[in-house]
Chain A
């Protein structure tokens, strides 16, 4: 029934190979290359839909298929095996669905770029790797994907090789991801070794690990529980891949890549691999309250931290990048408090609205770029201070961007509302939850609403601040760009209804997502008593509270950034008494500006420049420098002189013999 699962990653692989080998010399035509690339992933999407439908109607929810035996080393048997369960099915739909749309979008966005074929080759390769990551039934196949997506990510960040910054960004992403990979491997080996050497179960198969995980409960390593150590290592891997504190600074820099890349890899799919991985290993994580706590705290801190930095950014893509980091923080909070379903739910809705936001920003940048290029100006096409008032010029982009902003802010009945609310509820009420974390996350939610609307207003509202010469050349993008926007905006609007919370489920639809994912998560949740308990009224109150928080955030942003020039004049004319109020309001505003905005701005700048740039980059650069220094020192032992080489040899000999004698 499920033995054709391999088709799903197969199509993008073929697409990648065709475009990579034949794209430059033989196909050449952009349309065909684009069609091959998009078609490949769309076929995967169709196949995924088929399997998804099949799985929904199947009573057995976990299916493994083995394509071929990979290797057997000693008592370890590893297969090229795929695992289809509700978790991977949801991920499949997200990856293939959003991926298809972004591929389509790329045809328009990358039009005329040098290396068009290369772009689609990498994108398909990425899709292939991501699907391997999602579908792998054992840690090794997952690791194949894990490394593959990383590789494609560097390749695509550094797509514009001629830019020095792009190369640096790729390097940074590389270093941080390596730290993460190191964690992942250590975690894997810890689990593998303990299960094997102490319990005789040599396996890296996820299903088997989940079944045998209970054996590990009493084992200790390095003075701590094995599960704690291993899951902390896994979490380190997740922080690298998913840009969490302290390894998050590569993600904003990764915006050097083309915008579709940012949307697909650095917003919707690859960066959520860490969340998925925790979901996949939820049994292990649930066994260690310590790790769960760490995950939740790190997630919450990242959420608020990145949101703060979001205040101070003027580059539209960087705002979105920090917002992504922050939203990933939300997902980790969810995983940390045991709300696995909520985490995956938010992963899904985030993929919709954040992809839409990124693609929208891409559409704007695309238009700006063309306009500026047309007028021979070298202004920054990504700086929001050069935008403003684009609402009329680009109505579709504006509408979809606005809807996504509403969704990410968590306004009722948009998708973000449901997922974020579930996270907040679990954080508040879960047995693994914490009120402190809840407060932090709520503040972060407020900030999210604020800076997203700031971004919206600065880009689409007010006066157009683009250089007058280029002003009139800004146009709406072609259909290949707007179609994905519309579809994603639609999903961002209604996508949340798959997970309606029980308390407001008037029509008794039920939380479909929760029911669907239950086979994966409920077991560990029940085993370790992870549940959210509280009265329905508390839940409703909290829900209203979070909506209010979002509205306040939007309100503040509206007050501060939506400066319609007509409004004050009309007000003065019609309601002269109100004038003073408005005027005073302005004072308040300015006072507010001085007291609050500037402070937060400074805080934001401090966090960004001070922490992000100095501390984290300092550490990363320091590490790189240290390694560089060691390698230079080593290099200088390489004097080329025969005597030095011989001397080293003899010295090594003497040391060795001395060791013998001393023993």
Chain B
């Protein structure tokens, strides 16, 4: 028997794993990928809830999450190019001029 709990647990695990990725990876692009993964775990939650509640709203929200993710990805990657142009690197350990 598969309940919504199973799906949400998978989503939670996915969320935690992507958090781990955000915390450990040093390549800004990979970190950004992990953030996309985070949004995907949210999508999974929404879709499973949509089924669980027999309700369309969850799926609608997924659409918007995806659109927002796409917009964010476009801007984010452009930012990384801008950063790379200045610093010749997108290693987050090099994001360190602003501190203290």
Contacts and interface: CB of A to CB of B under 8 A. Distances in A.
Interface of A: 635-636, 638-643, 646-647, 650
A639 B96 CA distance: 8
Contact of A640 (B19, B22, B23, B99): B99
Contact of B98 (A635, A640, A643, A647): A640
Given A635-B100, A636-B100, A643 B92 contact: yes
Contact-residue bracket for chain B = 10 to 19
Contact of B23 (A635, A636, A638, A646): A646
Nearest to B25: A643
Nearest to B95: A642
A641 B23 contact: no
Contacts of B28: 642
Contacts of B88: none
A647 B19 CA distance: 9
Interface in B61-99: 92-93, 95-99
A201 to B, nearest CB: 50
Interface string B24-64: 10101001000000000000000000000000000000000
A646 B100 CA distance: 16
Contacts of B19: 650
Contacts of B97: 640
Contacts of B22: 646, 650
Contacts of A647: 23
Given A641-B92, A641-B96, A642-B95, 4 more contacts: A635-B100, A640-B97, A641-B95, A642-B31
A67 to B, nearest CB: 48
A638 B98 CA distance: 9
B93 A641 contact: yes
Contacts of B26: 643
A640 B96 CA distance: 5
In the A-B complex, the 9 residue pairs with the closest CB atoms: A640-B99, A642-B92, A640-B96, A638-B100, A635-B100, A642-B95, A640-B98, A646-B22, A650-B19
Interface of B: 19, 22-24, 26, 28, 31, 92-93, 95-100
Contacts of B98: 640
A642 B25 CA distance: 11
A645 to B, nearest CB: 10
A635 B96 CA distance: 14
A647 B28 CA distance: 15
**Interface majority SS on A: helix, strand, loop or mixed?**
helix
A630 B99 CA distance: 17
Of the candidates A635, A638, A639, A641, the one having the most CB atoms from chain B within 10 angstroms of its own CB is: A641
Contacts of A640: 95-100
Contacts of B93: 641, 643
Contact of A650 (B23, B31, B95): B23
A342 B97 CA distance: 64
Contacts of A639: 96, 99-100
Nearest to B22: A646
Contacts of A636: 100
30 contacts: A635-B100, A636-B100, A638-B99, A638-B100, A639-B96, A639-B99, A639-B100, A640-B95, A640-B96, A640-B97, A640-B98, A640-B99, A641-B92, A641-B93, A641-B95, A641-B99, A642-B28, A642-B92, A642-B95, A643-B23, A643-B24, A643-B26, A643-B92, A643-B93, A646-B22, A646-B23, A647-B23, A650-B19, A650-B22, A650-B23
Nearest to B31: A642
B93 to A, nearest CB: 7
Contacts of A641: 92-93, 95-96, 99
A305 to B, nearest CB: 43
A636 B99 CA distance: 9
B96 to A, nearest CB: 4
Contacts of B95: 640-642
Contacts of B24: 643
A175 to B, nearest CB: 24
A647 B31 CA distance: 13
Of the candidates A636, A638, A646, the one having the most CB atoms from chain B within 10 angstroms of its own CB is: A646
Nearest to B98: A640
B5 to A, nearest CB: 16
B36 to A, nearest CB: 15
A631 B72 CA distance: 35
A636 B98 CA distance: 12
B89 to A, nearest CB: 13
B55 to A, nearest CB: 26
A149 B15 CA distance: 56
A647 B21 CA distance: 11
A646 B19 CA distance: 9
A638 B96 CA distance: 10
A387 to B, nearest CB: 51
A503 B31 CA distance: 89
Contacts of A650: 19, 22-23
A134 B31 CA distance: 62
Contacts of A638: 99-100
A635 to B, nearest CB: 5
Contacts of B100: 635-636, 638-640
A643 B25 CA distance: 9
A661 to B, nearest CB: 14
B27 to A, nearest CB: 11
Nearest to B99: A640
A643 B24 CA distance: 7
A171 B22 CA distance: 45
A646 B24 CA distance: 10
Contacts of B96: 639-641
A643 B19 CA distance: 11
Of the candidates A636, A639, A643, A646, the one having the most CB atoms from chain B within 10 angstroms of its own CB is: A643
A32 to B, nearest CB: 49
Contacts of B31: 642
Contacts of B92: 641-643
A163 to B, nearest CB: 30
A643 B34 CA distance: 13
